[in-house]
Amino acid sequence: MWRYFYQFSSPKIFYERMQRFIPWLAWAAALCLVVGVIWGLCFAPSDVQQKDAFRILYIHVPAAFLSMGLYSFMGVLSLIYLIWRIKLAGFLIKMVAEIGCLMTLLALITGSIWGKPMWGTWWIWDARLTSELILFMLYAAILAVHHAYPEGEQADKLIALLVIVGLVDLPIIHYSVVWWNTLHQAQTFSFFSKSHMDASMLPPLIWMLLGFSFYSSAMILTRAKDALLWRERRQKWVKSLIEVSK
């Protein structure tokens, strides 16, 4: 099994396997999102206090979950790159940052739309909101460094270090609702403990979480696959691949 995963560090094998794998991911994402949206909007019962506005959480929670999940993944990739010098890991960080940045922005926007009818304001300098905004700025900084530096190992190293420094924001986001008295509600959904959400409201959230995850993975891998092709353009396998596609 380890050998199978180890083979992914070869750009050629990575490209070939992703070429087959991405369409499956894309179809899985479409299916999960369609089921999640229909179930969430039409069949899930409305909340006693929040009424129909709670349905915004079916978009907001997956986006917020992925904004943090993708940053954690970037942290793992940065460590792999800095410790084992696997170039593919350093290269993948930038692709993950593009999608993570969008997910963070979506979490902020949908949260703001939910905040207006529930809190009476679009924005407040609450600990959770502010730390999530800092996460968005971190993603933006990583993308800015990526565009400012020419491609190469120096840029990869700088980005990996920046990601590791930014990891400190993740526990702050997660525990902000515990450490401080915030307007943002405490955690209602957890994979590891009993959820505070009613069981009848949970399935659409799980479908949407899966849909967002599959969608993000498909986008990241497609971007990575193409950027890899350009980066490896001096290799024979890329040359033969382009000749075949002509």
Partner 1 sequence: MTTYTPYLVSSYGVAFIAMFFLLIWVRRQRQRTLKRLKQWFKRDFQ
Binding site for partner 1 (CB under 8 A): 37, 41, 51-53, 55-56, 59-60, 63, 99, 102, 105-106, 109-110, 113-114, 116-117, 215, 219, 222-223, 226-227, 229-230, 233, 238-239, 242-243, 245-246
Tokens (6 digits) for 154: 């120096």
**Least separation, in Å, of the C-beta of 51 and partner 1?**
6
Pick 68 or 99: Cβ nearer partner 1: 99
How far apart are CB 178 and partner 1 at their closest, in Å?
26
Number of H helices, E strands in the chain: 9, 0
Cβ-proximal residues to 98 (8 Å cutoff; 6+ apart), any chain: 143, 220, 223
With beta carbons less than 8 A apart as the criterion, state whether 124 and 182 touch.
no
**Up-side HSE of residue 118: CA atoms within 13 Å toward CB?**
22
Smallest gap from residue 165 Cβ to partner 1 (A):
27
Q: How far is the CB of 98 from partner 1 (least distance, A)?
A: 8
Helices (H), the chain: 2-6, 11-38, 57-84, 87-119, 127-148, 153-166, 169-179, 202-231, 236-245
Nearer to partner 1, 165 or 242 (CB): 242
**Closer Cβ to partner 1, 80 or 103, answer by number:** 103
C-alpha to C-alpha distance for 39 and 36, rounded to whole angstroms: 5
Q: For partner 1, give the closer residue by CB, 78 or 225.
A: 225
Q: How far is the CB of 232 from partner 1 (least distance, A)?
A: 10
Query: Please, which residue, 74 or 106, has the CB nearer to partner 1?
Result: 106
DSSP 82: H
Question: What is the three-class DSSP state of 181?
Answer: coil
Nearest distance in Å: CB 38, partner 1: 12
- Residue 104 or 176 with smaller CB distance to partner 1: 104
How far, rounded to the nearest angstrom, does the alpha carbon of residue 218 sit from its chain's CA centroid? Answer: 11
CA distances 68 to 54, 73, 101, Å, are 21, 9, 10
